[in-house]
Amino acid sequence: MLNILKIRDEFPILKRQINGKPLIYFDNAATSQKPRVVIDAFTEYYQNINANVHRGVHNLSQEATNIYEEARVKLQKHFNAKNTHEIIFTRGTTESINLVASGFSQLLKKDDEIIVSQLEHHSNIVPWQIACEKSGAKLKVIPINEKGEILLDAYKKLLSKKTKVVAISHVSNTLGTINPIKEIINLAHKQNAAVLVDGAQATSHFKVDVQNLDCDFYCTSAHKMYGPTGVGLLYGKEKWLNKLPVYHGGGEMIKEVTFEKTTYADLPFKFEAGTPNIAGVIAFGKSIDYLHNIGFDKIITYENDLLEYATQELQKIPDLKIIGTATHKASVISFIVEGIHPFDIGNIIDKLGIAIRTGNHCTQPIMQHYNITGTARASFAFYNTKKEVDIFIKALQKAIIMLS
């Protein structure tokens, strides 16, 4: 069992009031709140170390390098990557995907094919469209059913010897659908295609083992995992990272520079040009420690219970329809209310101290599939409670009455 009172006490922002009401934060799919140990990691670094990494012989630089690289080791162990140099630090999931897509734009040939799904966030669509424009490759799309689940039979028909990359979300940020990633990867590998998994919405809910999945690339962001914004990671199999061309040029990612020729550094530094987000990486490591101290088994059980409870309560509201009813879901609920714009709902319940997300959630193809303009989305974390759900339901009912 989780000690919810203790956990909530560890998140300073949960003591805030919004418009005179205690904050209820149900926008965790956008970004999760930060525990004190993560916030303190920033203060500790800037107050007592504040030196660049990898480049200095002085003591502060060595301290910064050691604690920075310790975070890389933590993430390697957490995701069960085979090697530490398979963990590349980026600004987040979006940059991680762009790094890989940019590299493949130089490896792909005309009429090669890239497969994405109808569930994807724009960040896992647009970079591949750019890669297609540059290379002449073609983009193929896996359709979904009315529950918001990928149609595996359609996916199997899309796969062919022309398929070079499959880019797929582990969990849908809009619908909460948990995709059958391992099966998707196995099928792609039978065609010798590389697979990139967008794990931004998965890694806060359950532990990911990249070797068990056998994915070629896995991307996530620290700020979805109770860590800081502006930092994330790209896991890549060593063979693929060596194949990809460099993404950014500058300091750190070079071995030798002359005006005639530049040679590049070994992994992971080949993809880590410039001064990194040192404090962010260190704090990312702290967020991993924090999650392990709580325990992912406990997180999964608690969040699933909260999701089930919230789903049942929402279904009692007349004219409310949940969008996305996959059998396997993370703790995300998107919904619409007949005759009422989602923005108006979000605006009113914000006045009551409740933060939810409204709009298309950077997934316009999903909205087109359901023939809607947007949804209201409540997304839960392990610091949320059933009492908060009850307050949310009452606020939602009040908003519906006001807007009807």
pLDDT grade for 250, boundaries at 50, 70 and 90 = confident
pLDDT tens digit sequence for 291-304: 999 999 999 999 99
Its domain, for residue 247, covers: 49-292
The owner of tokens 């620290």 is: 222
pLDDT grade for 5, boundaries at 50, 70 and 90 = very high
- The whole-number pLDDT of residue 262 equals 83
**Closest C-alpha to 273, from 253, 256, 290, 287:** 253
pLDDT grade for 183, boundaries at 50, 70 and 90 = very high
- Cis bond before residue 180 (omega within 30° of 0): no
- The whole-number pLDDT of residue 346 equals 97
Is 389 within 8 Å of 315 (Cβ atoms)?
no
Is 200 within 8 Å of 224 (Cβ atoms)?
yes
Please identify, among 292, 317, 338, the residue that sits at the C-terminal boundary of a domain. 292
pLDDT grade for 266, boundaries at 50, 70 and 90 = confident
- Rounded distance, CA 124 to CA 117, Å? 9
Residues 6+ positions from 70 with CB-CB distance below 8 Å: 285
- The whole-number pLDDT of residue 69 equals 97
- Rounded distance, CA 252 to CA 52, Å? 11
Q: Which stretch of DSSP H or E encloses residue 283?
A: helix 278-294
Read off the pLDDT of each residue in 262-276 and give the average, rounded to a whole number. 88
Q: 223 and 332: one domain?
A: no
Note if 362 is an active site residue: yes
- The whole-number pLDDT of residue 95 equals 98
Q: Does 338 fall in a domain?
A: yes
Residue 224 has pLDDT above 90, yes or no: yes
pLDDT, averaged across the chain:
96
The 3-class secondary structure across 78-118, one letter per residue, is: HHCCCCHHHEEEECCHHHHHHHHHHHHHHHCCCCCEEEEEC
Q: Which residue has the higher pLDDT, 397 or 251?
A: 397
Q: 287 and 385: one domain?
A: no
Q: Does 41 fall in a domain?
A: no
Q: Does 238 fall in a domain?
A: yes
- Rounded distance, CA 175 to CA 188, Å? 24
CATH number for position 215: 3.40.640.10
Read off the pLDDT of each residue in 277-284 and give the average, rounded to a whole number. 98
pLDDT grade for 241, boundaries at 50, 70 and 90 = very high
pLDDT grade for 34, boundaries at 50, 70 and 90 = very high
Read off the pLDDT of each residue in 304-325 and give the average, rounded to a whole number. 98
> Of residues 132, 215, 219, 362, which has the active-site annotation?
362
Q: 270 and 314: one domain?
A: no
Helix, strand, or coil (residue 12): helix
